[in-house]
Structure 1
Amino acid sequence: MADIKYEIVNHIGVLSTSPNGWTKELNVVSWNGGQEKYDIRDWSPDHTKMSKGITLNEAEIGQLRLLIIK
């Protein structure tokens, strides 16, 4: 299995912190050198491990924002 390469381009904020120190975060991430996307997932304290998450492009994050503020 190939290693996944990622770069956290912009750390937007922490949504929550679990008792084990992992944080659920909203970041802008480039995965495997690809286009930057908004990303929500849990990260280990040193950001070397992560959970499964969700990525959103500009249009999707805009639509999510509209749905939340209704």
Structure 2
Amino acid sequence: MAEITFEIVEHIGVLYEYPNGWKKELNLVSWNENEPKYDIRDWNPEHERMRKGITLTLEELKALKEILKEIEL
């Protein structure tokens, strides 16, 4: 299996912090030296390990923003 490389280009914010120190974060991440995408996933405190997450292009993030505006909280 090929190694996956990543670079957190910009840390945008923490959505949730787990008791074990892991955090669910929104970051701008370049995967395998490709164009950075917006990324939501859990990271360990050192940002060396991560869990499954979701990546979004700018257009997808804008669409999600519009959808979230419609949600009654």
Q: TM-score range by the shorter chain?
A: over 0.9
User: Which of the two has higher C-alpha Rg?
Assistant: 2
Q: Aligned partners of 2:39, 2:22: CA distance in 1, in Å? A: 15
Long gaps (5+) in structure 1: none
Shift, 1:3, TM fit: 1.8
Q: Which runs of 4+ in 1 moved over 2 A?
A: none
| Deviation sequence 1:8-34 (CA, Å, 0-9, x none) | 001000000001100000000000000
TM-score between the two structures when normalised by the length of structure 1:
0.97
TM-score between the two structures when normalised by the length of structure 2:
0.93
Alignment of 1:1-70 (within 5 A): 1-70=1-70
Identical aligned residues as a percent: 57
CA RMSD, 1 decimal: 0.6
Question: How many residues are aligned here?
Answer: 70
Q: Aligned partners of 1:9, 1:27: CA distance in 2, in Å? A: 8
| Deviation sequence 1:8-67 (CA, Å, 0-9, x none) | 001000000001100000000000000110000000000000000000001100000000
> What amino acid maps onto 1:44 in structure 2?
N
Long gaps (5+) in structure 2: none
